[in-house]
C-alpha cells in the first residue's frame, strides 16, 4: 500500500486554516509539539478517490524569515522537504499580505496549491478576486472557497490530488545573487510581487469596503472614546461573569458536596482506616469539588464572552488602544490581552503570552501575569453581599493592577540579562502597522 501523501497547511494567522483542516479531516486530528519547541501542531488524515492524505496544520506565519517560534517551526518544516504538497490558505479580504507568504513558499516548496478563503466575507466588503488571473500570475493552482459554509472544498480536494499526481513545472525563481542582505532582499521582492499580482487580480470598491470598519474604528480606537468604551465593555463582561456564575456555582456545590457523606460511608463500610478516609474525602474529594464548583462556572462564562470579542475583531483594537501605555512601562500592547485572560485563569494567560514575539517582552508578560487575580484567587464576598457585585471590585483590581505591573515592568528593564537568552534592545513600535508606517486596525 503506498504511503499517504503529506500536505502542509500554511497561511497567515486567522485566515481559516483550522476551519479547512477540520472540514477536510472531519476533526480526525492529532495535536502535538514540534520537537524542541513549545508550539502545537496538528495532524489529520482524509481519503479522496481511494488515496490516503495526511494533513499537517502548521502554525500561522507572515513570512519565512521568522520573527517568532511559530514562524520558525513553519519555516523548518517546509525546508525539511517532508511535505509532498503545500497548501497555502489566503484571506480574500486582505489578499496582498497573504500572497507575500505564498510567493516566498513557492521559492522553497513545490508543488503549491493556493486556497483563497473567506470569499463570502470579501463579497460583503465589495471585493472581487479573479481566480483565473491569480492562478496565471502565481503559476500554481488556485481554488476559491468559503470553508465555513463548505463552499469550494470539493474543488480543493481535486486540486490537491492533481498537484500530488501531476506537480507541473515550478515558476521562475527570484535570484538575490550579490545582495548584501539576502533575507531582506527576498522579503522586499515577495512584497513587491504580491502587490503586483493583487493589482491585476483584485478589484474592490475601497470606499464601500472600508466604510463599516472605519466607522467602528472612529469610535473604538479614538483618543476620546476608545478607552472609555474598552473599560465599559470589560466591566460589563466581568459583571456578567460573576453575576451569571452565582446560580450554577451553588448548584454544583450542593450536588458535589452532597456526595461527601455517602462516599465516607462507603469507605467505612470497606473498613478503610481513618487517615485514608480523611485523605480521600476531606482532602482530595472536597478540594476537587470546591475547585469545580467555584472556578468552572465563571470560566465557562468568561472565556466564551472573551471569544466573542475576538471573533468580532475587538481584541486587536484593545491592544492598539493600550500599546502606548504598555510601551511606556517597557512592555507590549498585547500584554493587555494576556492580562484579561489571566482574570479567567492565569495558566491560560501565561499560555497566551506566545502571541508576543519579543522574547524579553514575552518573559515580562509571563512573570507579571501571576499578579493578575484570577477567579480562583479572588477573595470571597463579604457576608450579605451578592456574588454579582464581585464584578466591579474585580474590575477595579484589574485597572489598579495595570499601574502596579507598569512599575514592575519598568524595574525589569533595569535588570541585566545575557544577550544569548533575551533581546535587551527590543525595537518599540506600534502594535499594528503597515509598510508605510501608518496604523492598520482590523
Q: pLDDT value at position 5?
A: 92
> Are 156 and 193 contained in the same domain?
yes
Letter string b/e over residues 59-85, b meaning 16 or more CB atoms within 10 A of that residue's CB: bbbbbbbbebbbbbbbbebbeeeebbb
pLDDT band of 438, cuts 50, 70, 90 = very low
Task: Return the minimum-mean-pLDDT range out of 61-65, 98-102, 127-131.
Answer: 61-65
In a domain, 85, yes or no: yes
Higher per-residue confidence, 305 vs 186: 305
C-alpha cell read off for 438:
501608518
Task: Return the minimum-mean-pLDDT range out of 76-80, 183-187, 264-268, 383-387.
Answer: 383-387
In a domain, 418, yes or no: no
pLDDT digits (tens, 9 = 90+) for 2-29: 788 999 999 988 888 888 998 898 875 5
Closest CA to 442 of 305, 304, 353, 315: 315
pLDDT digits (tens, 9 = 90+) for 370-418: 777 776 666 554 444 444 445 455 556 656 666 666 666 555 555 444 3
When pLDDT is averaged across residues 278-300 and rounded to a whole number, the result is 87
Q: How many CA atoms lie within 13 A of 168 on its CB side?
A: 19
In a domain, 294, yes or no: yes
pLDDT digits (tens, 9 = 90+) for 112-126: 999 999 998 888 888
> Are 197 and 322 contained in the same domain?
no
In a domain, 27, yes or no: yes
> Are 130 and 248 contained in the same domain?
no
pLDDT band of 167, cuts 50, 70, 90 = confident
Q: How many residues does this entry show for the chain?
A: 442
Q: pLDDT value at position 437?
A: 33
- Give yes or no for residue 439 having a pLDDT over 80: no
> Are 165 and 231 contained in the same domain?
no
In a domain, 373, yes or no: yes
DSSP string, 173-226: PP--TT-SSHHHHHHHHHHHHHHHHHHHHEEE-HHHHHHHHHHHHHHHSSTTTH
> Are 183 and 50 contained in the same domain?
yes
When pLDDT is averaged across residues 53-72 and rounded to a whole number, the result is 84
Which H or E element spans position 229? Answer: helix 226-257
pLDDT band of 162, cuts 50, 70, 90 = very high
Residues 6+ positions from 227 with CB-CB distance below 8 Å: 321
- Give yes or no for residue 435 having a pLDDT over 70: no
Measured between alpha carbons, how far is 371 from 402 in angstroms, rounded to an integer?
Answer: 10
Range among 18-32, 61-75, 211-225, 281-295 with highest mean pLDDT value: 281-295
pLDDT digits (tens, 9 = 90+) for 245-279: 888 888 888 898 888 888 888 888 888 888 888 89
Identify the CATH number of the domain in which residue 69 sits.
Answer: 3.40.50.300
In a domain, 216, yes or no: no
In a domain, 398, yes or no: yes
> Are 287 and 192 contained in the same domain?
no
Q: pLDDT value at position 142?
A: 94
Q: pLDDT value at position 158?
A: 94
When pLDDT is averaged across residues 178-184 and rounded to a whole number, the result is 63
> Are 44 and 116 contained in the same domain?
yes
pLDDT band of 34, cuts 50, 70, 90 = very low
In a domain, 427, yes or no: no
Choose the final residue of a domain: 204, 237, 259: 204
Say how many domains are in the chain: 2
> Are 98 and 55 contained in the same domain?
yes
Summary mean pLDDT of the chain = 78
DSSP-derived secondary structure letter, 424: S
Choose the final residue of a domain: 204, 237, 263: 204
> Are 48 and 120 contained in the same domain?
yes
When pLDDT is averaged across residues 315-333 and rounded to a whole number, the result is 83
Q: pLDDT value at position 65?
A: 81
> Are 123 and 41 contained in the same domain?
yes
Higher per-residue confidence, 438 vs 103: 103
When pLDDT is averaged across residues 209-230 and rounded to a whole number, the result is 82
Q: pLDDT value at position 37?
A: 47
Residue 169 belongs to domain spanning: 5-204
> Are 384 and 267 contained in the same domain?
yes
pLDDT band of 341, cuts 50, 70, 90 = confident
When pLDDT is averaged across residues 22-50 and rounded to a whole number, the result is 70
> Are 190 and 136 contained in the same domain?
yes
Amino acid at each position: 500500500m503506498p504511503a499517504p501523501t503529506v500536505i502542509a497547511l500554511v497561511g497567515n494567522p486567522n485566515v481559516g486554516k483550522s476551519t479547512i483542516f477540520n472540514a477536510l479531516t472531519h476533526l480526525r486530528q492529532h495535536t502535538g509539539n514540534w520537537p524542541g519547541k513549545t508550539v502545537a501542531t496538528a495532524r489529520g488524515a482524509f481519503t479522496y478517490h481511494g488515496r490516503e492524505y495526511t494533513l499537517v496544520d502548521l502554525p500561522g506565519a507572515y513570512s519565512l524569515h521568522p520573527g517568532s517560534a511559530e514562524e520558525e517551526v513553519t519555516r523548518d518544516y517546509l525546508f525539511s522537504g517532508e511535505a509532498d504538497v503545500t497548501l497555502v490558505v489566503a484571506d480574500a479580504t486582505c489578499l496582498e499580505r497573504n500572497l507575500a507568504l505564498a510567493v516566498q513558499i513557492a521559492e522553497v516548496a513545490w508543488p503549491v496549491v493556493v486556497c483563497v478563503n473567506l470569499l463570502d466575507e470579501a463579497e460583503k466588503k465589495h471585493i472581487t478576486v479573479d481566480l483565473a488571473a491569480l492562478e496565471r500570475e502565481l503559476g500554481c493552482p488556485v481554488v476559491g472557497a468559503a470553508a465555513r459554509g463548505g463552499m469550494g472544498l470539493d474543488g480543493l480536494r481535486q486540486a490537491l490530488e492533481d498537484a500530488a499526481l501531476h506537480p507541473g513545472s515550478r515558476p521562475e525563481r527570484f535570484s538575490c545573487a550579490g545582495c548584501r542582505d539576502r533575507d531582506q532582499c527576498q522579503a522586499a521582492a515577495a512584497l513587491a510581487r504580491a502587490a503586483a499580482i493583487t493589482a491585476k487580480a483584485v478589484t474592490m470598491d475601497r470606499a464601500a469596503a472600508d466604510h463599516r470598519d472605519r466607522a467602528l474604528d472612529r469610535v473604538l480606537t479614538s483618543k476620546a472614546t476608545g478607552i472609555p468604551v474598552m473599560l465599559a465593555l470589560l466591566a460589563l463582561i466581568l459583571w456578567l461573569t460573576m453575576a451569571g456564575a452565582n446560580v450554577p456555582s451553588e448548584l454544583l456545590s450542593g450536588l458535589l458536596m452532597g456526595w461527601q457523606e455517602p462516599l465516607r460511608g462507603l469507605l467505612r463500610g470497606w473498613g478503610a482506616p481513618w487517615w485514608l478516609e480523611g485523605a480521600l474525602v476531606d482532602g482530595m474529594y472536597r478540594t476537587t469539588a470546591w475547585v469545580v464548583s467555584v472556578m468552572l462556572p465563571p470560566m465557562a462564562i468568561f472565556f466564551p464572552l472573551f471569544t466573542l470579542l475576538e471573533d468580532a475583531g475587538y481584541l486587536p483594537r484593545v491592544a492598539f488602544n493600550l500599546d502606548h501605555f504598555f510601551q511606556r512601562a517597557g512592555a507590549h500592547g498585547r500584554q493587555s490581552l494576556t492580562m484579561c485572560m489571566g482574570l479567567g485563569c492565569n495558566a491560560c494567560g501565561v499560555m497566551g503570552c506566545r502571541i508576543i514575539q519579543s522574547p524579553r517582552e514575552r518573559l515580562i508578560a509571563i512573570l507579571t501575569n501571576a499578579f493578575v487575580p484570577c477567579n480562583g484567587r479572588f477573595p470571597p464576598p463579604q457576608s450579605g453581599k451578592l456574588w454579582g457585585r464581585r464584578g466591579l471590585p474585580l474590575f477595579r483590581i484589574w485597572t489598579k493592577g495595570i499601574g502596579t505591573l507598569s512599575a514592575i515592568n519598568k524595574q525589569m528593564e533595569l535588570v541585566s540579562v545575557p544577550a544569548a537568552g533575551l533581546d535587551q534592545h527590543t525595537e518599540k513600535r506600534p502594535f499594528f502597522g503597515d509598510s508605510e508606517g501608518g496604523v492598520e486596525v482590523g
